Chains A and B, each alone.
Chain A
């Protein structure tokens, strides 16, 4: 029996669960190229197509560059389209990544986050996705397997919303999330079909109503096209909330753009993204037991950035300790910390900011790291200024 027919949680590898969610979403074209740690997703999709469980065209392309190219083609033809990649693969397809949102093609892509070379390293950090941060896609970070499964379905619904029509990247930490076996409750197919009706669009290649897609943008129109695309991305935020709320109503699992944990009276708030948020939650519990006034903010939506939600979530804190899984060589802070500092600049009552880089290239992130971070923040001098990121656990 197919795992998606079970009414109880099923123990399954998260990569396979995502593939099952793509099946539940009835994706029509999957074009992908193998790269660790994403491969299990597309291997399982190949199986589902080969066994007739998913009626789709699987295009086994010869590179990631061609993977997203083929996806742009199939999405332009009007087919619901999925792909997945990681790291070097995302780098190779980068040129095409930036083209998808401007053409308003609602492709869904899972990125099993992995370090980028050199040195070559197959393990998890966020350097791949941060390197294409400004690509213009809606971007999520999944925290656990259930969320990754649900978010796959939500991503299609959101991307294809007539008010959105933008591609979506679902980030999940390579290995530390993608390869874990977790209990997953699969949404029933009939309810998924209700939540996510078949994709129909007039925005496609059609011999009865021909359009041209991908025209040249001269200086007279380029700025306007770029602004229109950003307007669409910024405006998509309310539809993200809508897609979350309707998912919550039908399936009983409610997601928020920004999650908060024990932040109400917190003096120090740690900000995280991705699967380490679960580790951080446990660390917060342990620190709370020891009397520490500490809380956690977990960013689920990364683009469009949930500006107001983030400000509201950290309001009242004395210290923000922002965790980055990537750094910006030659700059004193990582990308997440830089952005949050910029967003807090005009706040009258803003917290002191510190930035900690950890978990690079698969380096383990234990609970102690978060306790260490909070100790460091408390120990800052009178100015409360850190001045430069600290790379936790680095041997120098």
Chain B
């Protein structure tokens, strides 16, 4: 049996431009309890502007779950479900299975409903990795996974995760006489998602909001699972001024620390080439978590950042068509 599959890059979706920017309130009510300058909330609201109200969200335990839903209050104006920390992907896969059978039995209208699992970097790269891998591999049709990456366990008090960058001081990877902070390099979660041969993987940044919203729209349009890794600054955990959230998101992209790209049917596509990067130091300096780093440490980080960026460019240039 041959399965007729449309090239995912060709799947149409309504693109958001500056002129067609969604107006009106989004589905996250005001009054939530996030910190000033929270990059996660900013990313959440862009998600909601992109999808409107016709979707369901499953949150992992974490800042976004805690600050939006102390019973009997809830900031979510669309269907929302929270179960636990490590299982947002599994729960969302169950929601999609439920929607699918109810649609097939005529108990729901014949309409695809995106089911969006939302978790932080700890809930994704550490404790939730197994559930995520299972859900991606099982190929749920309307499944979108959003990792809001603020590079540590912020909800429990800034402990290191496998997504914490090299050199960052956290409460469990503190800088000290014998330590330069996090001693390992950030886990490459998008590459892990890509290895599941799913139709869509992307990175996004709230500083590039149109790019981010369109990636979410594309993820919802393509049948099959999607993974979007979102850079989400945490001024509290990064020991940074709260007004620098968007600025640091921009610096992360322009310094090549957090490159923006899509992987559509296995094909890497760079969203924003950074041919003349700003120095990595410009990105690191405003953040207190990197305060202790010396020049040679920054040089080491800079070398790694550029090496990874060049690797990404090579991936995008070596193959000029979908992998599957």
Q: Which residues of A contact B (CB under 8 A)?
A: 28-29, 31, 55-57, 59-63, 65-67, 69-79, 81, 95-96, 99, 103, 198, 205-207, 210-218, 221, 225
A70 touches B82 (CB 8 A): no
Chain B residues closer than 8 Å to A221, beta-carbon distance: 71-72
On whether the beta carbons of B87 and A69 are closer than 8 Å, the reply is: yes
A213 touches B80 (CB 8 A): yes
Any chain A CB within 8 A of the CB of B149?
A: no
| B8 at interface, CB cutoff 8 A | no
- A390–B73 CA distance with the chains assembled, in angstroms: 53
Check A215 against B72 for contact (C-beta < 8 Å): yes
From B72, B93, B113, give the contact of A59 (CB < 8 A): B93
Q: Which of these, B97, B104, B130, contacts A73 with CB under 8 Å?
A: B97
27 intermolecular pairs with C-beta atoms under 8 Å apart: A28-B105, A31-B97, A57-B101, A59-B97, A62-B130, A62-B131, A62-B134, A65-B87, A65-B130, A66-B87, A66-B93, A70-B97, A72-B83, A72-B91, A73-B81, A73-B93, A74-B94, A77-B98, A205-B81, A206-B79, A207-B55, A207-B56, A211-B79, A214-B69, A215-B71, A215-B72, A215-B73
B53 touching A77 by the CB < 8 A rule?
Answer: no
Given contacts A28-B101, A73-B95, A79-B97, 12 further A-B contacts (CB under 8 A): A29-B98, A62-B131, A62-B137, A66-B130, A69-B90, A69-B94, A73-B81, A75-B94, A75-B98, A76-B91, A77-B99, A198-B107
Q: Do A78 and B79 have beta carbons less than 8 Å apart?
A: no
B residues with a Cβ closer than 8 A to A are 53-56, 58, 65-66, 69-74, 76-84, 86-87, 89-102, 104-105, 107, 113, 130-131, 133-135, 137-138
State whether A70 touches B78 (Cβ < 8 A): no
Beta-carbon contact of A216 and B101 below 8 Å? no
Pick the residue among A66, A95, A198 that contacts B131 (CB under 8 A): A66
Q: Tell me which residues across on chain B come within 8 A of A217, comparing CB atoms.
A: 71
3 tightest A-B CB contacts, nearest first: A73-B94, A77-B98, A62-B134
Q: Which of B70, B79, B130, B133 contacts A216 (CB 8 A)?
A: B70
Q: Are B78 and A216 in contact (CB under 8 A)?
A: no
- Tell me the bound Cα distance from A364 to B279 in angstroms: 73
A212-B94 contact in complex given A79-B101, A79-B102, A207-B56, C-beta closer than 8 Å: no
Which listed residue, B80, B83, B86, touches A99 by the CB 8 Å rule?
A: B83
Which residues does chain B contribute within 8 Å of A72, judged by CB atoms? Answer: 81, 83, 91, 94
Residue pairs across A and B with CB atoms within 8 Å: the count is 166
Contacts of B133 in A (CB 8 A): 62
Bound Cα distance A225, B70 (Å): 13
In Å, the complex CA distance between A65 and B91 comes to: 10
User: Cβ of B95 and Cβ of A76 under 8 Å apart?
Assistant: yes
Residues of chain B within 8 A (CB-CB) of A70 are 90-91, 93-94, 97
Complex partner residue of B76 from A56, A60, A103, A210, CB under 8 angstroms: A210
In the bound complex, CA of A60 to CA of B105 (Å)? 21
Q: Identify A69's interface contact among B96, B102, B131, CB under 8 A.
A: B131
What residues of A have a CB within 8 angstroms of the CB of B99 in the complex? 77
Give the residues in chain B near A62, CB-CB below 8 Å: 130-131, 133-134, 137
B86 nearest CB neighbor, chain A only: A65
Query: Are A212 and B101 in contact, CB atoms less than 8 angstroms apart?
Result: no
CB neighbours of A79 from chain B (8 A): 97-98, 101-102
Whether A29 touches B82, Cβ cut-off 8 Å, given contacts A66-B90, A216-B70, is no
